[in-house]
Structure 1
């Protein structure tokens, strides 16, 4: 096991449900300095675990393990932290409670403060749903977070994005005949169709038109859809997928007691220096939505990743995109928050 467990005990979720024996799986990289001020939080995205974040972590990489102490907390529902697949009855599988982004960040805050005694965070960075968590960190703990860098992640799930996620969920609902009592019978094989639906959203039209999948080892479009998208989803647990999709579909940094649904106020309260990095061709976490958010944040710069890799411009798969993200993060980390 290459990660650690932080036991949260019995927690009350934002929904009001008491969830017993909850836990966060996390991994750390680098060394916490004496001042405890070299901390970077790097939450995971939908479907990802800490391993998928490691392309951006290491000696000499933007998240430099010689300089920073990086904590990667795993999203609840991802199979490592408390999830439908590892929770005993009565909250197992289809009975797993609804967990929000706000819940995730609240629990991550407990990890950071209770386990490590950290009071200042130099940066929160994340891709996709990890980016939403970066926004939430900035809104929930503005006095603690000095910088945020959401990559292809938004401060809330905008209406079109919600429609897209509904479309991703629909094959699993259809497989259970839209009958909640039959949802426990879902298997990983039912995720094949989910992968095909997501294939049309994860990458741009230009990516497919220019057949960039050939550069990552696929000889044809059919091979890519089957070998990349279907296989990726079929490795997951369907109940974990549904839990994470619910978390993503109902994400909104303002839907909590701090802001009572006032989205603009939540954005204005993020005082951290922010580098907002949407993919320029992202089809469902759009640059336009991020631009709206950046304009309402007092210390944000809008830095789109000019790429035809769509949403996956932030996934660490394309060297040009990776270099842009690394350069942007280095510049952000070099920025003195006291200026």
Structure 2
């Protein structure tokens, strides 16, 4: 019997024969792995686009997708939910699955714009969708949400970026640079030409240790909230959760590709705009922007600034309270999940921005 959800469930591939990237190189073809939940209605008005996040796969988004009977807002009996996998995540075109000569360390640089353009091609060419009822996402999924709303203002009716930003901040780049340095200095990395069956495990574990200090807040550690995830000590949590997370099928070259995508994120680089402020002002979609109270990557004040620039739409800045930091948006805490789900429900019930 085939699984309906999770990593064992079937997914689909959309191919773009010649996909020229912002960097000037071309994927031949670009392969976009995606999963859909629900049924597209006759007038194609019930589409939701829900991109993945840094190293996430489509099944990692399923915590916010209901089952038709649990009352969650992203109800597949009402909405047609498309979850496209980011380029570089190991399922869509990536260093780990692209044949030579563009494999591994030669895989081209990918931008947020490249991801959104490939998703736009999927949505329009595969499904013939002209309006998207909602685009939403966590972390890098939020960055893609902003890019969708800037690049396709005539199409995106509502948007809900949570724990993410339209532009990668300088402090965030310092964090990303530390990750890159740890991985590339690792024994066995060999400039990205390590054998496919011999990953630089020391680099992955160092990567995880850096992440451990950023993904959750200081208060999360002070209050030992990691115990709620079933861990028995701080070291048990760091090894079991963080090192286990990055050792779970996350190829180092893939991680570095997505890291570069994150580092360069800025809707102000969209053609036709002179600045991030100008790009944000062009958004027409009805929006709820949801940072987490203690997020170290995307603090609420950064997103308050973004909201202040979104002068062309109806928008609310709504902070997710609590100590879970960035992972308030990751589906691990039921309280935060309910908070996000309520916002999704409100937004879907509201008149669209366009």
**Short-chain TM bin:** over 0.9
1:71 to 78, 82, 85: 82
- 1:47 matched to 2:64: no
Question: 1:187 is matched with which residue?
Answer: 199
TM-score (norm 2): 0.92
CA distance in 2, matches of 1:147, 1:57: 17
Q: Give the match for residue 272 of structure 2.
A: 258
In the TM superposition, what are the counterparts of 1:158-307 in structure 2 within 5 Å? 158-175=169-186, 182-185=191-194, 187-189=199-201, 190-235=203-248, 236-260=250-274, 262-298=275-311, 299-307=314-322
Please give the TM-score of this superposition, normalised by the length of structure 1: 0.96
- Measure how far apart 1:74 and its partner are: 0.2
Aligned length: 336
How far apart are residue 338 of structure 1 and its match?
6.5
1:151 is matched with 162
Give the superposition deviation at 1:42.
0.2
Question: Is the 1:202–1:312 contact (alpha carbons within 8 Å) kept by the matching residues of 2?
Answer: yes
SS in 2 for 1:202: coil
Tell me how far 1:164 sits from its aligned partner. 1.1
Q: List alignment gaps of at least 5 residues for structure 2.
A: 1-8
Q: What residue in structure 2 maps to residue 318 of structure 1?
A: 333
Question: The residue matched to 2:16 in structure 1 has which SS?
Answer: strand
TM-fit CA distance, 1:259: 1.6
Please state how far the C-alpha of 1:87 moved relative to its aligned partner. 0.3
Q: Is the 8 A contact 1:42 1:126 kept in 2?
A: yes
Which runs of 4 or more aligned residues in structure 1 lie more than 3 Å from their structure 2 counterparts after TM superposition? none
- 1:188 Cα deviation (Å)? 4.8
Superposed counterparts of 1:52-63, under 5 Å: 52-58=60-66, 59=68, 60-63=71-74
Instruction: Say yes or no: does 1:124 pair with 2:135.
Output: yes
1:192/1:233 contact within 8 Å kept? yes
How many Å apart are 1:176 and its aligned residue?
5.9
Shift of residue 215, structure 1, vs aligned partner:
1.1
Partner of 1:336: 351
Structure 2 vs 1, CA of residues 272 and 222 (structure 1 numbering), >3 Å: closer, same or farther?
same
Unaligned 5+ runs, structure 1:
none
Tell me, yes or no, if the aligned pair for 1:279 and 1:310 is still in contact at 8 Å: yes
